[in-house]
């Protein structure tokens, strides 16, 4: 806001409300210090010009007499001291003494009160600006809570407060940086999923099998959302890193299961039998991976030491997502494998049958080796993959 008095009053009122209603907010600090007295010298330019003075000359003269001027540098015993020259305290501590300051001109000395009007007013020591707009900053430090939770609580206080006309309030600083980073981390997560898919596709030499494995990732993310809602925890940057870590664990479990199914099929097992054997064999490694990770995250999640709130969201994200994704990996991935494999086999059989041209064949006696062989009519219909029920199959050669 533009008005100093209005914005300062609102800021201090807001500070008191936050201190009263948000126990997780500590070290609340307002950047604008309390106003201090200043002197405003209003120069009569017409009178000053007749005496050969300018506003800048008068301002510099008054400033040097009241605040002092640097007159040089004093060196003593290896130390350096600046020499500041100004009037004594008793000669500059009142408005009347300032008005009586004698200013040299081309026509002799004149009092300041004869060519200018001196006024005293209160103003902030510094004026902050952003985009050429006056502003002040309130800093709040989270205590035993995450940055996102604190921002939500502070925003509630702001919404309930009576904001003066012409004044705007924005949450910025570390919270603003966090929101901007979320977009970057989202793009990074999408890129990671794509690269993982490409690597698995090249490894399995299939586009369908990586898709089966990646189907567990959305369920893992849904598990993180449920865990955050149940624990009333807000997702922060550390939590997003936990999501990225979770993707790697989920994909690893899926690869272990699908790769073993492929191994069993290569050894000659039927599809259903291979899926059942892989489930029995890989159940323990998958559960052990999930259990060790979850147990490792529990101390991080339950810790209440100083600074531990920074890591709580990561623990909750990994625990919630891994619990859901483990069940999905053991159930949904084998089911998808079976469905897509059967569909692929049917398509392959249809394609193979379509490559043959079937026709009716009359076999003569002279064409069959052996004098006692009887002519038999063999008939094969295109697309049926075998002989008719009424005909006897004959090998010709």
- pLDDT per residue as tens digits for the range 141-192: 887 777 777 888 888 888 887 777 777 787 777 777 777 777 788 888 888 8
Higher confidence at residue 244 or residue 375?
244
Least confident of 108-122, 215-229, 376-390: 376-390
Q: Which of 3-17, 283-297, 375-389 holds the top average pLDDT?
A: 283-297
The model's pLDDT over 242-297, given as tens digits with 9 standing for 90+, comes to 888 888 888 888 888 888 888 888 888 888 888 888 888 888 888 888 889 889 88
Judge whether residue 375 has pLDDT over 60: no
Residue-level pLDDT at 345: 55
Residues in the chain: 397
Among 3.30.70.270, 1.20.1640.10, 1.10.10.60, 3.90.1150.10, what is the CATH number of 175-344? 1.20.1640.10
Question: Domain-by-domain residue ranges, the chain?
Answer: 1-35+129-171, 37-123, 175-344, 356-397
| DSSP assignment letter at 380 | B
CA 48 to chain centre: 61
The overall average pLDDT reported for the chain is: 77
Cα distance from N-terminal residue to C-terminal residue, the chain: 100
Residue-level pLDDT at 319: 92
CA 261 – CA 246 distance, rounded (Å): 23
Residue-level pLDDT at 66: 81
Judge whether residue 80 has pLDDT over 60: yes
Which distant-in-sequence residues (6+ apart) come within 8 Å of 65 by Cβ? Answer: 86, 87, 92, 101
Residue-level pLDDT at 346: 52
Tell me the CB-side half-sphere exposure of residue 118, using CA atoms within 13 A. Answer: 21
Q: At which residue do the structure tokens 């008191």 appear?
A: 16
Per DSSP, what are the bridge partners of residue 140?
none
Judge whether residue 379 has pLDDT over 70: no
73 touches 80 (CB < 8 A): yes
The model's pLDDT over 307-357, given as tens digits with 9 standing for 90+, comes to 677 788 888 999 999 888 888 888 888 888 888 877 655 544 555 455 544
* Alpha helix (H) residue ranges in the chain: 4-21, 45-50, 55-66, 95-99, 112-115, 147-160, 174-204, 208-214, 216-231, 237-266, 271-302, 309-353
Q: Is the pTM of this model over 0.75?
A: no
Judge whether residue 364 has pLDDT over 60: no
Residue 114 token pair: 């004869």
Say which CATH architecture domain 37-123 belongs to.
2-Layer Sandwich (3.30)
Higher confidence at residue 1 or residue 13?
13
Residue 257 token pair: 């299961």
């Amino acid at each position: 806001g533009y008005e100093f008095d209005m914005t300062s009053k609102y800021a201090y009122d807001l500070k008191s409300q936050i201190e009263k209603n948000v126990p997780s907010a500590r070290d609340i600090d307002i950047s604008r210090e309390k106003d201090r007295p200043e002197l405003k010298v209003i120069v009569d330019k017409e009178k000053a010009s007749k005496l050969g003075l300018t506003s800048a000359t008068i301002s510099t003269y008054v400033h040097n007499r009241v605040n002092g001027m640097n007159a040089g540098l004093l060196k003593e015993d290896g130390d350096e001291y600046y020499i500041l020259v100004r009037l004594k305290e008793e000669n500059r501590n009142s408005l009347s003494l300032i008005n009586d300051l004698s200013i040299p001109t081309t026509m002799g000395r004149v009092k300041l009160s004869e060519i200018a009007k001196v006024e005293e007013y209160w103003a902030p020591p510094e004026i902050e600006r952003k985009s050429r707009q006056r502003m002040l900053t309130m800093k709040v430090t989270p205590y035993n809570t995450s940055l996102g939770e604190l921002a939500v609580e502070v925003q509630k206080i702001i919404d309930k407060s009576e904001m003066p006309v012409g004044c705007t309030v924005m949450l910025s600083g570390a919270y603003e940086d966090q929101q901007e980073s979320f977009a970057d981390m989202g793009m990074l997560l999408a890129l990671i999923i794509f690269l993982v898919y490409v690597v698995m596709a090249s490894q399995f030499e299939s586009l369908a099998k990586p898709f089966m494995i990646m189907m567990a990732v959305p369920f893992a993310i849904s598990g993180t959302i449920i865990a955050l809602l149940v624990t009333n925890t807000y997702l922060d940057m550390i939590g997003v890193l936990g999501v990225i870590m979770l993707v790697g664990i989920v994909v690893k479990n899926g690869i272990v299961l699908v790769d073993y199914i492929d191994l069993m099929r290569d050894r000659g097992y039927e599809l259903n039998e291979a899926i059942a054997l892989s489930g029995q064999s890989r159940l323990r490694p998958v559960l052990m991976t999930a259990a060790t990770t979850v147990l490792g995250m529990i101390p991080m999640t339950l810790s209440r030491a100083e600074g531990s709130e920074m890591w709580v969201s990561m623990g909750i994200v990994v625990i919630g997502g891994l619990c859901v994704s483990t069940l999905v990996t053991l159930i949904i991935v084998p089911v998808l494998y079976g469905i897509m494999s059967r569909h692929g086999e049917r398509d392959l059989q249809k394609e193979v049958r379509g490559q043959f041209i079937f026709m009716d064949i009359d076999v003569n006696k002279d064409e069959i080796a052996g004098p006692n062989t009887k002519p038999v009519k063999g008939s094969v219909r295109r697309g049926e993959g075998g002989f008719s029920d009424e005909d006897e199959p004959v090998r010709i050669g």
